Amino acid sequence: MTIATETPTSARVPGAKVRILETATALFYGDGIRTVGVDRLIGESVVTKATFYKHYGSKDRLIVDYITLKHETARQQFESIVESADSAEGALRAIVAAIVAEIARPGFRGCAFINAAAEFPDPNHPVRAIVVSHRDWYTSALADLLTAVGHPMPGDAADEFLLARDGAMTGGYGGDPIAASAALQRAADRVIRAAVAR
């Protein structure tokens, strides 16, 4: 009796809709949303034009799905870190470590949400709405952790934490990633110590 050792091709190859979104995610983050055209998305996704339009209808809908996926992924990662930590302080420090690791990752190109906001300056554009919603969620989630560690002003501290993260992500891409990461760690440590020192 022969035991099959390979997964059938149909199980290994993602469906066309998933493949298009995965391709868009890599290209939009790596090269910029506006610079990537539909023909390139179709070619690199290895789908037909009809298949692309059947699943997404337009590049605009794909862009919204891309930034929505970025939010969902970030949220899942954040929640996973919090669930794995032994305390709220441990979770905050683990979040900083995850940001530092992201900045050091090959192909890092800054924060996907800041990049998207820069490409879509109209505050009424659906992409901007998702970016604002993401940042509101992120600030609220940080404030919850800072409340749990006893920070006297968790909302303000969450704003400071997020601003330090934004600066590190931008500085890590546009400048010296080591210096940016070290600055983030110092800023986050000050925010956390303001709570645990009480």
CATH code where residue 158 lies:
1.10.357.10
Helices (H), ranges, the chain: 9-12, 16-31, 38-45, 49-56, 59-84, 88-104, 112-119, 126-148, 154-174, 177-196
And the tokens for 193?
């110590």
Domain count, the chain: 2
Residue environment code for 24-49, b if the CB has 16+ CB neighbours within 10 A, otherwise e: bbebbbeeebeebeeeebbebbebee
| 129 and 106 part of one domain | yes
| 42 and 67 part of one domain | no
Q: What is the pLDDT of residues 67-85, one digit of tens each?
A: 999 999 999 999 999 999 9
What confidence category does residue 196 fall into, taking pLDDT thresholds of 50, 70 and 90? low
Residue 2 domain-assigned? Answer: no
And the tokens for 181?
């990461």
Separation between Cα atoms, residue 31 and residue 119, nearest integer Å: 12
| 38 and 86 part of one domain | no
Q: What is the pLDDT of residues 145-165, one digit of tens each?
A: 999 999 999 999 999 999 999
C-alpha dihedral sign at 70, 73, 76, 79: negative
Mean pLDDT of 90-109: 97
Distances (CA, A) of 5 to 30, 46, 122: 35, 26, 52
pLDDT at 13 over 60: no
| 30 and 90 part of one domain | no
Tell me if residue 143 falls in helix, strand or coil.
helix
pLDDT at 1 over 50: no
Task: Give yes or no for a contact between 144 and 155, defined as CB atoms under 8 angstroms apart.
Answer: no
What confidence category does residue 2 fall into, taking pLDDT thresholds of 50, 70 and 90? very low
What is the residue range of 142's domain?
Answer: 60-196
Domain end (from 37, 57, 77): 57
pTM of the model: 0.88
| 16 and 73 part of one domain | no
Task: Give yes or no for a contact between 112 and 70, defined as CB atoms under 8 angstroms apart.
Answer: yes
Separation between Cα atoms, residue 60 and residue 33, nearest integer Å: 10
Tell me if residue 121 falls in helix, strand or coil.
coil
